[in-house]
Each structure stands twice: as structure tokens, then as C-alpha cells.
């Protein structure tokens, strides 16, 4: 099943190239979820609501996905986790950059030592919203990643059971402004956490350990890799993070980026492609709108 959010916070099921509106279900789910719940309501409700959503979609007219404005498929993640330095060749390419920025060398290239970092929920955007570049005088890089969406609450999860806690997957960009500041500070700029075009449920991705993906900036290929090259694979990432945090339905986990990261500027188009079921994540880089 493919779930998307679009236009004015509507929920849809993607079937072929059509979006079928099931917003009524989203409203009912949200209304029945306690305000204090540490979950994304729709993701938490998927096991109980899946058949209902599919039935609603069959009776709802379709609308071409090209005619909607896609938002992040997860509306209210309890937290956004991200794995640094999780591809060997990316570690190699960043070593030269680390040597040129004062203070950057304090960040360990060893994920076990560096740990997982968090990104602000308010930095999350979907394809239609664009990436606003707040610091055009600095190097701002794209980082293509497969994202895991947690579906069940858990802590101290052994890697052997990790897949039981996954609701689904999506494509993502962990944008970053390079510099010596803390990772979370530079990576939580408005619009610097991109997710989309939709979320697929876990059954749509039979082998998450073998997912190819490629990223282009305009017509230039920048990144091409496969999750088979992850240093910490997905089960290990979940085990690692859950030693420190309780994971909740709707948590988004960015699994790391491979080599080929590079700068973007306003006017660029960033496109990430993977397996057909994951779709195409396409987003514009734009100038930051200065607001009082």
C-alpha cells in the first residue's frame, strides 16, 4: 500500500498514477487519538485501519498524482533520527572536507562512536514545498537516503526482531549546511529534511537490504548506491537507536547517505529514484523567504 499526504493536509492512497482520497479516515483516526500520544496517529493506526483504507480508496475517484501537491507522507513524527557516516565511501570523501573546516574533526567518522543524531520535526517537508536555502554563502549539500518509518513502540529492540517494528519506507534527503556547528543544528534548517513522494508499507519492500537508488541534480548524476553497502544495516540501526530511545509509531529514521554528496543552489532540481514502488522524489531548491 502506498500512502501520501497532499494539498491541504489530505490523505490519499496511490494506485497506479492516481491518488484516491481517504481523508475521512485520517480525520476519524486523529479525532480518536489522545492529544498526549507520542505517535503519528495514522501510522499508529495502520494495522487496524489498513483494510478500511483500501476499501475507501476503491470507492473514491482517482486524481492524477501529477495534479496534487505532495507533502511529507508522515504528518507528525514523534522524532526524526539520522545515521551519520554509514557508507564507507562517503566517509572517505568527507575526510578531505573535515580537514578544511576548523573544529569539524571533532566529529568521529565511526558511527558507533558518533551515535545517531536528531533532526527538528519542523525541518520536515514534502516534494511540493521546496528546499529554502537560508545560507547561500555556505556549502549546502544533498544527501540521498532510504528512510524507515517505525510502526510499533519499542525499546532495547534486538536486531533479530527489528523488522517487526517497521511500518514502511520512503525516500528522503538529509540536507545539510556544512560547517563546524553541531550536526543537528546545521541539518535542522527549515526544509532540510525531505520525505516522499509517498510511504510504502513494509510488505511492498521484500528486501530492504538490497535497495538501489540514484540522485541527480538537474541532469547531473551525483549519487548512486545500494543499501547493501550500509555499515550499520537497518536492523542494526534500530537496535542501536533503541538502546537510547523508545521508538514510537511515526518516527522517521534516515539510514545514511553514500558517496557523491555535493552542493546545490536556488534554482536546482534534486531528483532521487529507486525501486518503482518507492517512486520518484523530486524537489526544487529555492531562495529562503525572509520573514519577520
pLDDT of residue 109: 81
Which regions of 58-179 does DSSP assign to beta strands (E)? 62-64, 70-71, 80-82, 117-119, 124-125, 131-133, 140-142, 144-150, 166-174, 176-177
98 vs 172, more confident = 172
Least confident among 113-117, 154-158, 171-175: 113-117
Q: What is the pTM of this model?
A: 0.95
What is the separation of C-alpha 137 from the centre of its chain, rounded to a whole number of angstroms?
26
The predicted-structure confidence for 232-280, as pLDDT tens digits, reads as follows 999 999 999 999 999 999 999 999 999 999 999 999 999 999 999 999 9
Task: Please tell me the predicted confidence (pLDDT) of residue 107.
Answer: 64
Band (291; pLDDT cuts 50, 70, 90) = low
Residue 163, number of CB atoms within 10 A of its CB: 13
SS3 153: coil
pLDDT at 290: 72
**Alpha-carbon dihedral angle through residues 107, 196, 163, 204, given to the nearest 10 degrees:** -150
What local confidence, expressed as pLDDT, does residue 249 receive?
98
d(C-alpha 30, C-alpha 162), whole Å:
27
Grid coordinates standing for 59? Answer: 470507492
Instruction: Using CB atoms within 10 Å of the CB of residue 254, give its burial: 0 to 12 exposed, 13 to 18 middle, 19+ buried.
Output: buried
Amino acid at each position: 500500500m502506498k500512502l501520501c499526504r497532499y494539498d491541504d493536509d489530505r490523505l490519499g492512497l496511490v494506485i497506479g498514477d492516481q491518488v484516491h482520497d481517504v481523508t475521512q479516515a485520517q480525520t476519524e483516526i486523529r479525532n480518536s487519538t489522545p492529544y498526549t500520544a507520542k505517535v503519528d496517529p495514522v501510522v499508529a493506526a495502520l494495522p487496524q485501519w489498513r483494510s478500511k483504507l483500501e476499501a475507501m480508496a476503491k470507492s473514491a475517484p482517482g486524481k492524477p498524482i501529477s495534479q496534487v501537491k505532495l507533502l511529507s507522507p508522515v504528518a507528525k513524527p514523534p522524532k526524526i533520527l539520522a545515521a551519520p557516516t554509514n557508507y564507507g565511501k562517503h566517509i572517505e570523501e568527507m575526510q578531505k572536507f573535515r580537514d578544511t573546516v576548523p573544529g569539524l574533526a571533532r566529529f568521529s567518522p565511526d558511527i558507533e562512536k558518533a551515535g545517531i543524531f536528531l533532526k527538528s520535526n519542523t525541518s520536515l517537508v514534502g516534494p511540493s514545498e521546496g528546499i529554502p536555502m537560508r545560507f547561500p554563502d555556505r556549502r549546502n549539500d544533498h544527501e540521498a537516503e532510504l528512510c524507515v518509518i517505525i510502526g510499533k513502540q519499542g525499546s532495547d529492540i534486538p536486531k533479530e526482531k527489528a523488522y517487526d517494528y517497521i511500518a514502511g519506507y520512503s525516500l528522503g534527503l538529509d540536507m545539510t549546511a556544512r560547517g563546524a556547528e553541531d550536526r543537528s543544528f546545521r541539518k535542522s534548517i527549515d526544509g532540510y529534511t525531505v520525505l516522499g513522494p509517498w510511504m510504502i508499507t513494509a510488505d511492498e519492500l521484500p528486501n530492504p537490504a538490497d535497495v538501489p537508488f540514484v540522485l541527480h541534480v538537474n541532469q547531473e548524476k551525483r549519487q548512486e548506491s545500494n543499501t547493501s553497502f550500509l555499515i550499520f544495516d537497518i536492523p542494526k540501526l534500530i537496535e542501536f537507536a533503541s538502546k537510547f530511545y523508545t521508538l514510537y509509531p511515526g518516527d522517521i529514521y534516515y539510514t545514511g547517505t553514500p558517496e557523491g554528496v555535493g552542493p546545490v543552489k536556488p534554482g536546482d532540481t534534486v531528483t532521487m529514484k529507486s525501486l518503482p514502488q518507492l517512486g520518484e522524489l523530486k524537489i526544487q531548491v529555492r531562495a529562503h523567504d525572509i520573514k519577520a
